Amino acid sequence: MSKTIIFKNRPAGKPSRSDFELVHEEDPGPGEGEVLLKSHYISVDPYLRGRMRNEESYIPPFKLNEPIESMVVAEVVESNNPNFQSGEFVSGMLKWKELQVSSGTGLNRVDRALAPLPAFLGVLGLTGLTAYLALDKIGKLKPGETLVVSGAAGAVGSIAAQIGKIQGCMVAGIAGSDEKVQKIEEDFGLDRGLNYNKEEDMANALRRICTDGVDVYFDNVGGEMLDAVLQNINKDARIINCGAISLYNETELPTGPRPEGILIKKTALMQGFLIRDHAKDFGRALRQLGAWLQDGSLIYEETMVEGFEKLPEAFIGLFEGRNVGKMVVKV
Ligand code: NDP
pLDDT digits (tens, 9 = 90+) for 283-312: 999 999 999 999 999 999 999 999 999 999
Contact residues of ligand 1, CB 6 A cut-off: 45-47, 126-127, 130, 151, 153-157, 175-177, 180, 220-221, 242-246, 273-275, 318-319, 321, 323, 327
Q: What atom of ligand 1 comes closest to residue 223's alpha carbon?
A: 19
Q: Exposure string (b/e) for 276-300, b if CB count within 10 Å is 16 or more?
A: eebeeebeebbebbbebbeeeebeb
Q: Whose CA is nearest to atom 18 of ligand 1?
A: 246
Domains by residue range for the chain, with CATH: 2-122+301-330 (3.90.180.10), 126-276 (3.40.50.720)
Q: Where are the beta strands (DSSP E) in the chain?
A: 2-7, 20-25, 35-43, 69-79, 89-95, 99-102, 108-109, 146-150, 170-175, 192-195, 214-219, 233-241, 269-272, 302-306, 326-330
Q: What atom of ligand 1 comes closest to residue 197's alpha carbon?
A: 48
Q: Which pLDDT band, with edges at 50, 70 and 90, does 186 fall under?
A: very high
- Whole-prediction pTM value? 0.97
Choose one of 220, 246, 302, 303 to mutate for the ligand 1 pocket test, by most ligand atoms within 8 angstroms of C-beta. 220
Asked if residue 259 lies in contact with residue 270, where contact means CB atoms within 8 angstroms, the answer is yes
The tens digit of pLDDT for each residue in 100-143 reads 999 999 999 999 888 999 999 999 999 999 999 999 999 999 99
pLDDT surpasses 90 at 253:
no
The tens digit of pLDDT for each residue in 37-76 reads 999 999 999 999 999 999 989 999 999 999 999 999 999 9
Distance 185 CA to ligand 1 centre (A): 19
Amino acid at 64: L
Asked if residue 325 lies in contact with residue 155, where contact means CB atoms within 8 angstroms, the answer is yes
Q: Where are the beta strands (DSSP E) in 202-248?
A: 214-219, 233-241
pLDDT surpasses 80 at 27:
no
Mean pLDDT of the chain: 97
pLDDT on residue 1 = 83
In the chain, pLDDT over 90 holds for what percent of residues?
A: 95
Give me the half-sphere count of Cα atoms (radius 13 Å) on the Cβ side of residue 17.
4
Give me the half-sphere count of Cα atoms (radius 13 Å) on the Cβ side of residue 85.
3
Amino acid at 285: A
